[in-house]
Amino acid sequence: MWNPSLRPSRPGSALSRREWLRVGGLGALGLSLPSLLRGNPTAASMARAASFGRAKSCILLFLSGGPPQHETFDPKPEAPVDIRGNFRAISTSVPGLQFCETLPCTAKIAHHLAVIRSMSTDIHSHSTSGACMLTGYEPVSKAENVPPSPDDWPSIAAAAGALKPSTRSPLSSVVLPDELYNDGHIVWPGQNGGFMGSKWHPTLMKCDPSQLPMRIEGLTLEESLSAVRLGERFDLLNQFDQHFSTGIRSQAVTGMGEMHQKAFELLHSESSRTAFALEKETAVLREAYGPHKFGQSVLLARRLVEAGTRLVQVNWPREGDLEVKGSPLWDTHADNAGRVRNVLCPQFDRTFATLIDDLQQRGLLDETLVVAMGEFGRSPKVNANGGRDHWGSVFSVVMAGAGTGGGQIIGASDRTGALPQSRPVRPPDLAATIFHLLGIDPAGEFMDPLNRPRRVTNSGTVLHELAGA
């Protein structure tokens, strides 16, 4: 369907009446004007057209801190021990494909997965490499602890929710259970609507789904507040906003009212309230996802996309006592082997495999794109503290569902897992592929607040291995 917020990035030349009729006929087959202008449709272009919009929704698992590629999806069993680490490679459900032994559950579902082993940002800072992965755009600065800016490019989550809003839920795009930040609560750039303002911000749900009944910061209705009283408060707030905005006309003030409206709709939406009711899931399934905050957040993500949310981004949470000082999240500068063996991989492995199986059993995997990624990987050589350091030169990203084609490897790192050896993939390519599968033209344009056309992706190329491009 034509999306009026997008338009072709390159207008075509004048066409004859016969050619216009041909365009209309091809449109019924899912082919577009750019395909016609490039020449006769090929099998590849038809496959790409068929995959456009195949994903009704997307679950993006962001493993913040930087998962080590060697101890997950790209083991190097032939490398020296200071490169390969202490773990062995194991067979998967795909003949000839090996993962690290830390992922036994994921190895059993490898036939559903497409693994990119040649992703690269060439940035070794958490926040700016993260912004690159989350937006698909190169940041202006590659330094650490760069604060968010109103000039930031919108995140993939923001763009997906704004350019392809849900038709079934007031929630088009959600980030949970918390935002991403460095130690000292220094928030990363590239997590919201950026220069498009609050209209594009995904809904940030600060919550702990492992604690029931679940409470969402700023969105949970107080027990003493009835629906009638909530409506009265909302009307009063609207009056205040309107009065205030007559004196100060700004995007920020306008955005406040829109966010209040979104929150009000959310609290009154039966489908959304039902999605939050994790207690309706069986104890067996909740346990399979894992009793920790990450596992239950992923279960909540599945319930949200089932209720119509377009994109849910689950950030790997900071969980207090489970963190090791000096090695928060996946940032394993020390005791990498112990952290991935005892805390990190057991949680991810069980939860991720359960999500894929659960989506498959519910008939949702074919229409739900699942992406698991971090901001970068870890250094090829184990350091003196038994850890691995920041490494944006090459790392792994895993995708499943929405017809991406399971059981395949895209690209390769070199023998030590230090650099791409073949088929290098950059964040713009990943972003373009996600947008394509969600039915958003990566080469399309949208208008910014100053009425200037902006490309959805600037230089990304849809990965043909995943989308038939």
Give the pLDDT of residue 267. 55
Nearest Cα to Cα of residue 459 among 426, 421, 424, 412: 426
Residue 234 has pLDDT above 70, yes or no: no
Residue 256 has pLDDT above 50, yes or no: no
The band of 329, judged by pLDDT with boundaries at 50, 70 and 90, is very high
Asked if residues 412 and 117 have their Cβ atoms less than 8 Å apart, the reply is yes
Phi, psi (degrees; rounded to nearest 5) at 293 = -60, -40
> Is 327 or 453 the better-scoring residue by pLDDT?
453
Give the pLDDT of residue 229. 54
Percent of the chain clearing pLDDT 70 (strictly above): 77
Cα distance between residue 226 and residue 197, in whole Å: 32
The band of 220, judged by pLDDT with boundaries at 50, 70 and 90, is low
Q: What is the pLDDT of residues 285-309, one digit of tens each?
A: 999 999 999 999 999 999 999 999 9
Nearest Cα to Cα of residue 125 among 107, 113, 115, 140: 140
Q: What is the pLDDT of residues 69-120, one digit of tens each?
A: 999 999 999 999 999 999 999 999 999 999 999 999 999 999 999 999 999 9
Q: What is the mean pLDDT of residues 198-206?
A: 95
Q: What is the mean pLDDT of residues 215-240?
A: 55
Give the pLDDT of residue 38. 44
Q: What secondary structure, in 3-state letters, does the chain show?
A: CCCCCCCCCCCCCCCCHHHHHHHHHHHHCCCCHHHHHHCCCCHHHHHHHHHCCCCCEEEEEECCCCCCCCCCCCCCCCCCHHHHCCCCEEECCCCCCEEECCCHHHHCCHHHEEEEEEECCCCCCHHHHHHHHHHCCCCCCCCCCCCCCCCCCCCHHHHHHHHCCCCCCCCCEEEECCCCEECCCEECCCCCCHHHCHHHCCEECCECCCCCCCCECCCCCCCCCCHHHHHHHHHHHHHHHHHHHHHCCCHHHHHHHHHHHHHHHHHHCHHHHHHHCHHHCCHHHHHHHCCCHHHHHHHHHHHHHHCCCCEEEEECCCCHHHCECCECCCCCCECHHHHHHHHHHHHHHHHHHHHHHHHHHCCCHHHEEEEEECCCEECCCCCCCECCCEECCCEEEEEECCCCCCCEEECEECCCCCCEEECCECHHHHHHHHHHHHCCCCCCEEECCCCCEEECCCCCCCCHHHHCC
Give the pLDDT of residue 387. 97
Cα distance between residue 361 and residue 349, in whole Å: 18
- In this predicted structure, which of 22-36, 95-109, 198-212, 248-262 has the lowest mean pLDDT? 22-36
Cα distance between residue 284 and residue 206, in whole Å: 25
What's the chain's average pLDDT? Answer: 85
The band of 30, judged by pLDDT with boundaries at 50, 70 and 90, is very low
Q: What is the pLDDT of residues 150-196, one digit of tens each?
A: 999 999 999 999 999 999 999 999 999 999 999 889 999 999 999 99
Give the pLDDT of residue 328. 81
The band of 130, judged by pLDDT with boundaries at 50, 70 and 90, is very high
Q: What is the mean pLDDT of residues 401-411?
A: 96
Q: What is the mean pLDDT of residues 427-454?
A: 97
Give the pLDDT of residue 40. 59
